[in-house]
Amino acid sequence: MNDLILQPILFMGALSLVMMLLMYTTRIPAAKVLEAEGVDLQRLSHPALLGGVFPSKVERVADNYNHLWEQPTLFYAVVMVIWALGHTDPTHLYAAWAYCGSRFIHSLVQVTFNHVWVRFSLFMLSWIALGTMLVREIIAALVA
């Protein structure tokens, strides 16, 4: 049962891969349009200079890809601690998959209609799932 906690990591990795592919399939054509319009993309090589240059639908995909390298890094670390200590149980598994589900839906929302309050709610749901795993492991460490 303990190894089952590793499956959500693979899911999040697959989600990151899909978002990376989507980012480049939207960004490269948009960059070619900008170049055809005379925009020197090399002058925009710093990420801070790119804001507002690409169409919103292109930027949202890139933003989501970047978001998958922020909070999820803590998720990966917590899952690895749970796995390494042999603490996988149904609560951890449900929380890990709830985290994955909320992040997946968050990604769908961000790259489609991007409603801020829906996205924020999904972000908070993912934190509840992640916080559940984190707090349970902190308590386990304090009790041990």
pTM of the model: 0.94
Mean pLDDT of 21-41: 94
Tally of domains in the chain: 1
Largest CA distance in the chain: 63
CATH number at residue 87: 1.20.120.550
* Exposed e or buried b per residue across 107-133, where buried means at least 16 C-beta atoms within 10 angstroms of its C-beta: bebbbeeeeeeebeebbebbeebbebb
Q: How many CB atoms lie within 10 A of CB 96?
A: 27
45: pLDDT confidence band, cut at 50, 70 and 90? Answer: confident
111: pLDDT confidence band, cut at 50, 70 and 90? Answer: very high
Domain hosting 66: range is: 2-143
Q: What is the pLDDT of residues 62-107, one digit of tens each?
A: 999 999 999 999 999 999 999 999 999 999 999 999 999 999 999 9
